[in-house]
Chain A
Amino acid sequence: MNYKIIAYVEAAVIIAVIVGFAVYGLYFTNQPIRLSGAGATFPAPLIQKWSAEFKDMTGVQINYEGIGSGGGVKQFTEKTVDFGASDPPMKDAEFSAAPGTLQIPITIGGVVPIYNIPGIPEGLNFSGQVLADIFRLNITRWSDPRITTINPGVTLPDAEIIVCRRSDSSGTTKVFTSFLSDESAAWKATYGAANVIDWPSQTIGGKGNPGVAAAVQQNPNSIGYVELSYALESNISYGKVQNAAGKFVEPTLETLAAAASAVSLILPPGDASWASVGSYFNLHDVEGADNAYPIASFSYILVYKELNVRSGMTLEKAKALTWFLWWAVHDGQHYASGLSYVPLPQAVVTHNEATLRMITFNGQQVNDWA
Chain B
Amino acid sequence: MSRHKKTQNFLSKLKTNPKKRFSGDSVFRTVVALIACNIFIILGLIIFKITQGSWLSIQTYGINFLWGTTWQPFPSNQNSPPIFGALPLIWGTLITSAIALLLGVPISLGIALALSEFAPKNFNYVISFFVELLAAIPSVIYGLWGILVLIPFLQNNVYPHLQAVLGFLPFFQGTIRGSSVLTGGIVLAIMIIPTVSAISRDVFAAVPNSQREAIIALGATRWEKARIVMSYGRSGVVGAVMLGLGRAVGETMAITMVIGNSFNMFTSLFEPGSTLASIVANEFTEASSPPVYISALMEVGLLLFALAIVVNASARLIIWRSTRKIKEVEMF
Contact surface of A with B, Cβ cutoff 8 Å = 68-71, 74, 160, 162, 167-170, 188-192, 194-199, 201-207, 211, 214-215, 218-219
Contact across chains for A74 and B288 when beta carbons are under 8 A apart: yes
Contact across chains for A195 and B286 when beta carbons are under 8 A apart: yes
Contact surface of B with A, Cβ cutoff 8 Å = 70-78, 88, 147-148, 151-152, 155, 175, 177-179, 256-257, 260-266, 271-272, 274, 281-283, 285-289
Contact across chains for B74 and A218 when beta carbons are under 8 A apart: no
User: Contacts A168-B283, A207-B261 given; 11 further ones with Cβ under 8 A?
Assistant: A68-B285, A71-B286, A162-B175, A167-B262, A202-B264, A203-B272, A204-B179, A204-B262, A204-B272, A214-B147, A219-B179
A199 to chain B, nearest CB (A): 7
Chain A residue contacts of B175, Cβ below 8 A: 160, 162, 202
Chain B residue contacts of A214, Cβ below 8 A: 147-148
Contact across chains for A218 and B285 when beta carbons are under 8 A apart: no
Residue from B152, B179, B287 within 8 A of A169 (CB atoms): B287
A42 to chain B, nearest CB (A): 12
Contact across chains for A192 and B286 when beta carbons are under 8 A apart: no
Complex Cα distance, B88 from A361, in Å, reads 54
Residue among B78, B175, B283 having the largest count of chain A Cβ atoms under 10 Å: B175
Complex Cα distance, B179 from A167, in Å, reads 12
A2 to chain B, nearest CB (A): 13
Complex Cα distance, B177 from A208, in Å, reads 19
Chain B residue contacts of A198, Cβ below 8 A: 70-72, 75, 263
Complex Cα distance, B286 from A69, in Å, reads 8
A167-B178 CB under 8 A given contacts A198-B71, A203-B262: no
Chain B residue contacts of A211, Cβ below 8 A: 257
Query: Sorted from nearest, which 6 A-B pairs have the closest CB atoms?
Result: A205-B261, A192-B76, A167-B261, A194-B74, A201-B264, A169-B286
B311 to chain A, nearest CB (A): 26
A205-B272 CB under 8 A given contacts A218-B152, A218-B155, A219-B178: yes
Chain A residue contacts of B74, Cβ below 8 A: 192, 194-197
B61 to chain A, nearest CB (A): 16
Contact across chains for A191 and B76 when beta carbons are under 8 A apart: yes
Residue among A162, A170, A190 having the largest count of chain B Cβ atoms under 10 Å: A162
Chain A residue contacts of B271, Cβ below 8 A: 201-202
Chain B residue contacts of A162, Cβ below 8 A: 175, 177
- Between A and B, 11 residue pairs with Cβ closer than 8 Å are A69-B286, A162-B175, A192-B75, A196-B287, A198-B72, A201-B263, A203-B272, A207-B282, A218-B151, A218-B178, A218-B179
Chain B, Cβ-Cβ closest to A93: B289
Chain B residue contacts of A201, Cβ below 8 A: 88, 262-266, 271-272
A181 to chain B, nearest CB (A): 8
Contact across chains for A167 and B282 when beta carbons are under 8 A apart: yes
Contact across chains for A70 and B288 when beta carbons are under 8 A apart: yes
Chain A residue contacts of B289, Cβ below 8 A: 70
Residue from A71, A169, A192, A204 within 8 A of B260 (CB atoms): A204
Chain A, Cβ-Cβ closest to B256: A207
A75 to chain B, nearest CB (A): 11
Complex Cα distance, B268 from A71, in Å, reads 38
Complex Cα distance, B261 from A170, in Å, reads 14
Chain A residue contacts of B286, Cβ below 8 A: 68-71, 168-170, 195
Contact across chains for A188 and B76 when beta carbons are under 8 A apart: yes
Chain A residue contacts of B257, Cβ below 8 A: 207, 211
Complex Cα distance, B71 from A113, in Å, reads 25
Complex Cα distance, B287 from A68, in Å, reads 10
B151 to chain A, nearest CB (A): 5
Residue from A68, A170, A194, A219 within 8 A of B73 (CB atoms): A194
Chain B, Cβ-Cβ closest to A169: B286
Chain A, Cβ-Cβ closest to B287: A169
A3 to chain B, nearest CB (A): 13
Contact across chains for A190 and B179 when beta carbons are under 8 A apart: no
Complex Cα distance, B325 from A103, in Å, reads 72
Chain B residue contacts of A206, Cβ below 8 A: 179, 261
Complex Cα distance, B302 from A95, in Å, reads 35
